[in-house]
Amino acid sequence: MKIAVYWGCKIPTSQYAYEMSVRQVFPYFDVELFDLSGASCCGGPVRNVNSTAALYLGLRNLALAHKDNFAGLLVPCNECHFMISEAKYRVDNDEEMQRKMQALLSEENLEYSGDVKIWHVIDLLHDKIGVDAIKSKVKKVLKNLKFAAHPGCQIIRPSEIGRVDDSERPSKLENLIEALGAETIGYSEKLDCCGAALLYSHVDTALSLAGAKLKAIQSQGVDGLVDTCPYCHIMYDVKQNEALAMVGGKSTISVLYYTQLLGIALGIEHEKLGLHLNQNIDRKIMSK
C-alpha cells in the first residue's frame, strides 16, 4: 500500500519521536509512506481568525495528494486530522463552498476531487491493517505491562464530520495496545481534554487538566500512558512535572506514542523509535 503522509507543523519541528516511530513501523505492514510534496499548514492556527483561509489550507493538502495520484493521506496529528477532515466535510456538503474552494485551488493548478481517503495512525492500523495482522508481527510480547489509552479530543469529536472512533466509547487504541500483549485500564477521565488548547491563554487550567488525568491513572498502577497526538504528548510528557505539581502529584509516569510502543513489540531498536527523546519513560518499558 502506498500512501502520502502529512506531518503538519508540530511533529517535524518538535515531536521528532512521533515521526521517527511512524516511519519505522509502517513498512512492517507493507505500507510505503511518501511525504506530501508542497504541503501547507492544516489551517488550525487561523481557524478562529479566517475560517475561509483555514478551510482552504486543509483542502489544499487533499488536492496535493490527489495531484500526485495518492488514494490515501495519513495524518498522524489529531488537530491536523480534524482540520483536514472538517475541510472535506464542509466542501462535500456545501456546493457553493466547493465552487469557491475550487476557484481558489485552480490558481495553483490544483483541484479537489473528494476521492482521497484521510487516515490517522489509529484507524490505518486498526481498520485497514487489522489487529490480527499486528499480532502476527509481534516479536516481543509486552506482557506484565499495563497502560492507559488517551485517544485525544479531536480524533473522536465532533462525530458529525466522521472521526476515527466512537465519540463516547472509543476502544480502538485499547485494542491496538492489547494486540501487543499489554493490558489496558478503564478510567473515568479517559475522554477528558489534555489541556493543550488552553496552554497559551489559561496556562494553569491547561496544566491542571493534564495533571488531573496523570494523577488519576497513577492511582490505578499503570506503567504508562499511550497517546497518538503531538499536542497531547507535549502536555503529558514535556509538561508532566508542571502538570503534576498543579494537582499535588509527585512521582512521574511513562508517556509513549502508540507507534513507539508498537515498535518495541516489533523488535525495533529503541533509538530508531526516538525513545531517547521521551522525557518520562520507565526502565521496565525500556527493558523490553
pLDDT in tens, 54-110: 999 999 999 999 999 999 999 999 999 999 999 999 999 999 999 999 999 999 999
For residue 154, give Cα distances in angstroms to 12, 17, 110, 157, 229. Answer: 20, 21, 27, 5, 9
Residues 110 and 194 in one domain: no
Residue 108 sits in the same domain as residue 143 = no
112 and 184 part of one domain: no
Are residue 85 and residue 143 in the same domain, yes or no? no
Helix, strand and coil in the chain, % to nearest 5:
50, 10, 40
What pLDDT does 216 receive? 95
Question: Does residue 94 lie in a domain region?
Answer: yes
Residue 186, sorted as left (phi over 0), alpha (psi -120 to 50) or beta, turns out to be beta
Amino acid (one-letter) located at 143 = K
Q: What is the CATH number of the domain that holds 54?
A: 1.20.1050.140
Report the C-alpha gap between 86 and 81 in whole angstroms: 8
Q: How far is CA 218 from the centre of its chain?
A: 22
Q: Are strands 72-74 and 117-119 parallel, antiparallel or unpaired?
A: parallel
Q: In b/e form, how buried is each residue of 232-245, taking b as 16+ CB within 10 angstroms?
A: bbbbbbbbbeebbe
Examine the domain organization and report whether 90 and 161 are in the same domain.
Answer: no
Domain match, 199 and 95 both:
no
Q: Is the pLDDT of residue 141 over 80?
A: yes
* 82 and 25 within one domain: yes
For residue 124, tell me if it sits in a domain.
no
Q: Does residue 262 share a domain with residue 202? A: yes
pLDDT averaged over every residue in the chain: 97
Does residue 130 lie within any of the structural domains?
A: no
- Clarify whether residues 8 and 80 are in a common domain: yes
288 pLDDT above the threshold of 80: no
Domain span holding position 27: 2-119
Q: Which of 119, 146, 170 represents a domain boundary (last residue)?
A: 119
Number of domains in the chain: 2
Q: What is the pTM of this model?
A: 0.97
DSSP string, 98-113: HHHHHHHHHTTT----
User: Which of 119, 152, 175 is the C-terminal boundary of a domain?
Assistant: 119
Other Cβ atoms less than 10 A from the Cβ of 282: the count is 14
Examine the domain organization and report whether 59 and 152 are in the same domain: no
